[in-house]
Structure 1
Amino acid sequence: MKSLDRREWLLTNGLGSFACGTLCDARTRTYHGWLIAAINPPSERTLLLSHLEATLEIGRKTRELGTNFWSNGTIAPLGYQLLRSFTIEPVPTWIWSEENWQLTRQIVMPNCFPQPGEELANNQFDQKTVIQYDYQGKETAILRLKPLIADRNFHHQQTAVPELTFSQKVSENSVIFQAINQDWQGTPWQLTWSKGDYQISGYWYWNYHYPEETLRGLGDREDLWCPGELTIILQPGDRIALEAKLGWAEAQRRRGTGAQENSLTRNSKLPQSPVPSTQSPIFNQLLRAADRFIVYRHSISGPTVIAGYPWFNDWGRDTLIALPGLALTTGRFEIAKGLLQTFGSYCKYGLIPNTFPDQGNEPFYNSIDASLWWIENLGLYLEATEDWDFLITQYPVFRQIYKAFSAGTLFNIHIDAEDGLLIWDAPNVAITWMDVVINGKPITPRCGKPVEINALWYSALCWAIKWAEKLATIQTGNSAKLLSQRDRYFQQAEKVKKSLQKYWNPKQQYFYDTISPNDQPDPKIRPNAVLALSLYHCGFPSEQARQVLQIAKEKLLTPYGLRSLAPDDPDYIGSYTGDSLYRDSAYHQGTVWSWLIGCFINAWQRFYQTEPLPFDWQLMLDHFQNQACLGSVSEIFDGDPPHTPQGAFAQAWSVAEVLRYFPEANKF
């Protein structure tokens, strides 16, 4: 490579563990590493193996293949100058070479998502990263590999201190590591190899620098421990495979199993999608990208969704927004059912948790819309599957939500008796998706009646009408009660539909974003109006919808999603950069959210059926294939051109909505 290519790659294992880095092989983030293991899947993610520092000796010449940023501003060694290519498919592959030699490295993280009935042994389930080197050349070479290791939370950096040491137990073809400090013992893990000679050394590499963290105004320096060196003599055509694996188990001798062969396990444990393989490489890549977010949560013995890599956990709202694209479009109906069942089982106070618990911990119920998204997704699942037995088990959850919203619940969420709309009134909290709070105050206060919340509420009532009627034909002994509930839902839906006209702003020909508890409408041009038009049941007239979409096309639409605020608004911030305070201030004040592209497409195709989409799909697909994290979609983009990718480099709902509305998806 002629330059330091800081685009990124990502591998995951279905339990929350992941590996990621840059194409140039330098670590630029706290989150870069080859084994970031979910000790209590998918939580307690811990960096264990940062990387292997490699040198290759041929004759009397030694080539340093690594590339590192250091806190004094230097870059050393300069291995990227010998790096000739990187490919992401079928697995991340680097090739270093000169005229008379070539060294290829591949990295794989086999998938561990358990099959139904399969037990998660000791929370670990064979979590590992496989690294393979292939050598081609005209003479014998010596490959030296130095593991750089840590034992720290994936959000933090490791600092060399006297009380931190690493034990190691060396066998013929393996070494077991464990961090030891004054007050704790770290996570045991092992490194195994198919051939080579390992010698213990033990010293610190101080002051690695992570430039991406510098840009984010966060800690950007790390110390990593080098426990020893593995020396391998390579003949032309030789292959060596290494495994970095979680746990104590004594390693057995490996026989050179290649990383390419191990990669065949990548999709073997996720339910197979009935969506067929196609002639479109991009669509197949989107299917694989979707897999990365579906993980197993040990504390609930069921599936969940990582909101985004490299730093997000699993969140209720994000999971439910992503569910149609990840699980329904791909035909993974058992995954969809499992997600709905899991979230429904944790319903409390009529609310679906926004964050799941680890074992022994209480979920966080800090979202008004997660419950409404749960209802919307239950409806979409039932439309796709006609699984009425599942409706029988989940209808009581719907009733719990309905009753809680009717009687009132946390955050003073209740139905306004006058207009039938949902309202909430809790100062200094943020419980919609525009949820940033700084110093105890929301940046985008939306207390009252947000437009998308009541659009979801209307759709929920419409689903309830259908469900009560269907159940009345199944549970004939309870039909009178169910039909009475149906009539009540119908009356409420009609009242809500009429009240939705309160959001129409004839001056702007757009919907008010929210109506405050004291009945003051907010005229800011935000994408929630488009979201309100995209739901399965839409309570707004076509003429208004088309006018809203024209304004959104003019002021919010970009090739990568919708801006969170119109550029002509005095509060608009067009660049998501700087420290955490500045970035949080910009998060919903103009930043482009890529998941909203799906809302726009759905609404546009509903109300402008014969007109083509007013943006170029190819720009989004080029981002997916060639920008930020190759083979994924970023969380957000700058509001101002050229709309630089920002935020998490791989976001679940972003990938899900691109997959859901990708033109080829509609063919199946």
Structure 2
Amino acid sequence: MKWIYGKQDWKSFERGQENCYLLTNGLGGFSSATMIGSVSRNDHALLMACVHAPNHRYNMVHRLSEQVTLEGDSHMISSQEFADGTREDGWRYLEEFSYEDTPVWRFLVEGVQVRKEISVEQGTNTAAVCYEITNRSSRMCDFTVTPFFQFTPKGSEPKPSQVFEREEGCVRSNGLSLYFWTDAEVKEIPEISEVYFYSYDDCDGRRPTGLAKANHRICKTVNPGEKCRLELVYSMETTEKKAASILAGHRAYRKKLEELAGFSSELAAFLAKSANQFVSRRESTDGETILAGFPFFEDWGRDTMIALPGICISTRQYGTAREILRTFAAYEKDGLMPNLFPEGGEAPLYNTVDAALLFINCVYLYYQATGEKAFVREMYPVAERIVKSYRQGTHFGIHMDEDGLIMAGQELDQVTWMDVRVGEFLPTPRHGKPVEINAYWYNALQIMACFSEILGKEGAEYEALAKKAKEAFCGQFWMEDRHCLKDVLSGTEADCQVRCNQIWAVSMPFTMLDREKERQVVETVFEKLYTPYGLRTLEKSDPQFHGTYGGPMQQRDMAYHQGTVWTFPLGAYYLSYLKVHSNSGEAKETVREQLEVLASALREGCVGQLPEIYDGENPTSSKGCFAQAWSVGELLRVFEKIERGN
């Protein structure tokens, strides 16, 4: 599947900055810029290296300035907005931008064609750029690339006094070394600085400007009628690989991912490749992990356990799934899973009630896909400790109440996925018995009964606990007059708010409601919360509904879970819809048709990716992280259900 854009897609500079590309290297590093090649965020970079996987990121090569000169007549083909209000308007020469496995740009300047392609290398902090310059004009063409560097931690910028030193094949600054190779001429220049305006940071109240410096240019002369290549490789390690080799290796890697996943849907096959962009090495655990989202987020326990079934199991990356689950199992403590892994000797953070229960669910889904009884046996003691700790009580107010339901949260601790805290205020307080947590609890108990039977162990206690929880859940959560479930049992007005969390009480492998009530939940969610790009977190008629997401952080946080559309619950909705319609051919065709619109979502924002969120009122533009793991993972599970029935 190839995404192709033309001049109609960048009728203005602003339109050209609406979409971006993303390439990742499996270490937490990445390359990303807009489709016109500009950096509209301080997190954009040709090479965002990760020196300690996956979170110690450094913006090394921020951008490339590119110029075509025809016998003294100069044309900038790069695009960029600067803090002083000036711009490079190379987008006017841009004929086409496309993305399949790599981003490709095609420019036309008075008879000179320039093709540009970028790639990264898996497992190294390396970015490669390959230009093809075809001079069909009657004039001599000089093509010049000026790389601008930062050499600072992600999110920061160089001080004006920071010095960049260049020696043969290497640039050094701020204690870092960046090696480079090119087949063109390198010309040293006096150090120059640029200060950029980041429009996509400014609108969200983030740092709106940033500085980068250059100390050399890379030049190639192309005679009339001649076609030349210019290759450029930047790496944190010394390398002899050429740009063309890195590009070919990247395409081959992506092709293997697609073939292994084995989806017949073109859209699903592309998403399977996108899914792998979130998988990264983690040095502190010597294992693999799943990064929650780009460009902002790191790897979190909750996000990993929600994303893993789609990112790894639906794509048949079973070895990756197994390694991640083993890593989490090793860090289980007091029945909880880490929500944030340790860095620099620090202890993990365990502030999540759902990750541990979803860990049990992931082990079950892994077993369903692979039939590996030995892995169930290996994980069983961890799952036992989780259930025991939830029964007896553990941190953050997590414990089983007398009625068999799970309570969680205390004081300012937000331990469900709706976890925003604004100072001393909780915009979405869910202390008590959250609906999805108790759906996960019942599911985990039934899985433990199943695992006990598989392993020849006694599972009656789990079955008894599940029965007790089911009776309490069905009696206390159901709202007959509204045909849906309460969001939480807390004794506050928040209890009866119509939210998307109830959909997981239908979509999990083991559920508590009868089929008719499940059908009513699905219909209510569709009526009140459904959009083609995700589910609203709160129904529009609620007085606390926020229709737009944006502005400074406090303003964004107040809207984050108060109506904002999230993409990832859409997966649970479609799985629930299929379930209550008995996975019929008609139901599958309905979902298949509704999924077609995802092609437009993959064209907008980060090309080939699904975002974190959209506005709740009218979800037209992606917001938050432009690429979100659980969004991709949960929709892949829907494609898997339709195609394989799993």
TM-score (norm: length of structure 1): 0.90
String of CA shifts for 1:142-186, please: whole Å, max 9, x gaps: 111111000222123x15333x212222x2xx2x12223xxxx3x
CA distance in 1, matches of 2:266, 2:231: 29
C-alpha distance 29-391 of structure 1, shift in aligned 2 (>3 A): same
CA distance in 2, matches of 1:291, 1:133: 27
Measure how far apart 1:194 and its partner are: 1.8
State the SS of the aligned residue for 2:428: coil
Aligned counterpart for 2:435 among listed residues 448, 451, 472: 451
Q: State yes or no: 1:177 paired with 2:175.
A: no
Q: How does 1:500-539 map to 2 (within 5 A)?
A: 500-501=473-474, 502-516=476-490, 522-539=495-512
Q: How does 1:130-149 map to 2 (within 5 A)?
A: 130-138=128-136, 140-149=140-149
Aligned counterpart for 1:11 among listed residues 13, 23, 38: 23
Aligned to 2:3: none
Measure how far apart 1:60 and its partner are: 3.0
Q: State yes or no: 1:237 paired with 2:236.
A: no
CA distance in 1, matches of 2:640, 2:279: 23
Q: State yes or no: 1:592 paired with 2:565.
A: yes
Measure how far apart 1:263 and its partner are: 2.9
Q: How does 1:177-326 map to 2 (within 5 A)?
A: 177-180=171-174, 185=175, 187-205=176-194, 207-235=195-223, 236-247=226-237, 249=238, 252=240, 257=244, 260-264=247-251, 266-267=253-254, 274-276=260-262, 278=264, 280-326=265-311
RMSD: 2.0
CA contact (8 A) 1:12 1:109 kept: yes
CA contact (8 A) 2:202 2:208 kept: yes
CA contact (8 A) 1:131 1:259 kept: no
Structure 1 stretches of 4+ moved >4 Å:
270-273, 518-521
Aligned to 1:602: 575
C-alpha distance 320-199 of structure 1, shift in aligned 2 (>3 A): same
Q: State yes or no: 1:345 paired with 2:352.
A: no
CA contact (8 A) 1:351 1:370 kept: yes
C-alpha distance 664-395 of structure 1, shift in aligned 2 (>3 A): closer
Measure how far apart 1:59 and its partner are: 2.4
CA distance in 2, matches of 1:62, 1:434: 53
C-alpha distance 455-18 of structure 1, shift in aligned 2 (>3 A): same
CA distance in 2, matches of 1:309, 1:631: 13
Moved more, 569-578 or 519-528: 519-528
Q: Which amino acid aligns with 2:632?
A: V
Q: Which amino acid aligns with 1:11?
A: L
String of CA shifts for 1:354-407, please: whole Å, max 9, x gaps: 111224221110000000110111111111111111111111101111121122
Measure how far apart 1:200 and its partner are: 4.0
Q: Which amino acid aligns with 1:85?
A: E
Measure how far apart 1:257 and its partner are: 3.5
Aligned to 1:470: 454
Aligned counterpart for 2:418 among listed residues 402, 421, 434: 434
Q: Which amino acid aligns with 1:514?
A: V
**Kindly, what percent of the aligned residue pairs are identical?**
30
- 5+ residue gaps, structure 2, are 1-6
Aligned counterpart for 1:617 among listed residues 595, 598, 604: 595
Aligned to 2:610: 633
String of CA shifts for 1:44-92, please: whole Å, max 9, x gaps: 1110001221111222322111211122333x22111111110012310
CA contact (8 A) 2:497 2:538 kept: yes
TM-score (norm: length of structure 2): 0.93
Aligned to 1:88: 99
Q: State yes or no: 1:331 paired with 2:330.
A: no
Q: Which amino acid aligns with 2:320?
A: I
Q: Which amino acid aligns with 1:26?
A: S
String of CA shifts for 1:412-465, please: whole Å, max 9, x gaps: 211112x11111241111100001011133211100100110110000000011
State the SS of the aligned residue for 1:29: coil
Aligned to 1:65: 77
Moved more, 563-572 or 605-614: 605-614
Q: Which amino acid aligns with 2:94?
A: L
Aligned to 1:476: none
CA distance in 2, matches of 1:98, 1:526: 53
Count of residues paired in the alignment: 623
Q: Which amino acid aligns with 2:545?
A: Y
State the SS of the aligned residue for 1:544: helix
CA contact (8 A) 2:184 2:218 kept: no
CA contact (8 A) 1:8 1:629 kept: yes
CA distance in 2, matches of 1:221, 1:655: 31
CA distance in 1, matches of 2:318, 2:595: 27
CA contact (8 A) 1:110 1:265 kept: no
Q: Which amino acid aligns with 2:103?
A: P
CA distance in 2, matches of 1:198, 1:60: 18
CA contact (8 A) 2:536 2:563 kept: yes
CA contact (8 A) 2:128 2:243 kept: no
CA distance in 1, matches of 2:201, 2:324: 33
CA distance in 1, matches of 2:508, 2:177: 48
Moved more, 501-510 or 562-571: 501-510
State the SS of the aligned residue for 1:376: helix
- 5+ residue gaps, structure 1, are 113-125, 473-481
State the SS of the aligned residue for 1:569: coil
C-alpha distance 273-427 of structure 1, shift in aligned 2 (>3 A): farther
CA contact (8 A) 2:532 2:594 kept: yes
Q: State yes or no: 1:487 paired with 2:460.
A: yes
